[in-house]
A = this chain, B = another copy of it.
Amino acid sequence: VTADRQGSSAEDVPSLCQTERTRLRRKADRGCYELEAVRAILDEALICHVGFAFEGRPWVMPTTFAHVDGYLYLHGAAANFALRSLAEGAETCVTVTLLDGLVLARSAFHHSMNYRSVMLFGRAEAVVDPDEKTRALLAIVDHMVAGRSADTRHPSEKELRATLVVRLRIDEGSAKRRIGGPVEEPEDMALAHWAGLIPLVLMRGEPQRDGESTGAPSFHAEPEIS
């Protein structure tokens, strides 16, 4: 890989470095390297898909995450083989995808989806400092529901030992998105097919209290758009 690292763009917008791996090969106009765009997608997405090789073969694992101070944090049981592979230094590609709409064109060929995605590359490392580990685990809880960790029992020493946390520096990768309606062949515009956009939204429903739960919800209980 020929690294063409650019810590920031000409306008000094904080950016991910561009390498041969993150150079946008196709539809480059849909992509960017600005950290602000990357962070906004990471903030909204609830899960990521973590790719790595194990015994030379590819694996893709869905998992929750959080990002704090320029690191993406993942966690799992100490025995989780995916997390262990990452902790042992396996290269990873972490992809985060938000679906925004179905794009229905007059031609089958131009059907598409609106989305926002982030792809990050690198090698993760195990987090050993108990304070950083605790911060990461609480951040993962807060990433599910903002402020939630303040209304929980925090991890015990035993729970910390049972949990493997790894972190990936957010420095190599890119963001990509598609917006808008269908793009058509000019000669298709007169065809009598319906065309347009069907928006997609991941909705949070009404919270369902656990039967024996006695606390008051510490978050806004109305359904909200994620």
- List the interface of chain A (C-beta within 8 A of B): 1, 21, 25-26, 46-47, 49-53, 55, 57-62, 64, 77, 79-81, 90-95, 97, 99, 102, 104-109, 111, 113, 115, 117, 119, 121, 137-138, 140-141, 144-145, 148-149, 151-156, 159, 163, 181-182, 188-218, 226
Contacts and interface: CB of A to CB of B under 8 A. Distances in A.
Query: 4 shortest A-B CB distances, which residue pairs?
Result: A199-B205, A51-B60, A49-B49, A194-B215
Contacts of A59: 51, 93
Contacts of A192: 214-215
B58 A93 contact: yes
B194 A199 contact: no
Contact of A204 (B121, B151, B199): B199
A216 B194 CA distance: 5
Contact of A108 (B51, B109, B138, B196): B138
5 contacts: A26-B77, A51-B59, A64-B113, A105-B152, A109-B163
A interface, over-half SS = mixed
A140 B226 CA distance: 27
Contacts of A153: 106-109, 188, 191, 193
Contacts of A159: 107, 109
Contact of A137 (B92, B108, B205): B108
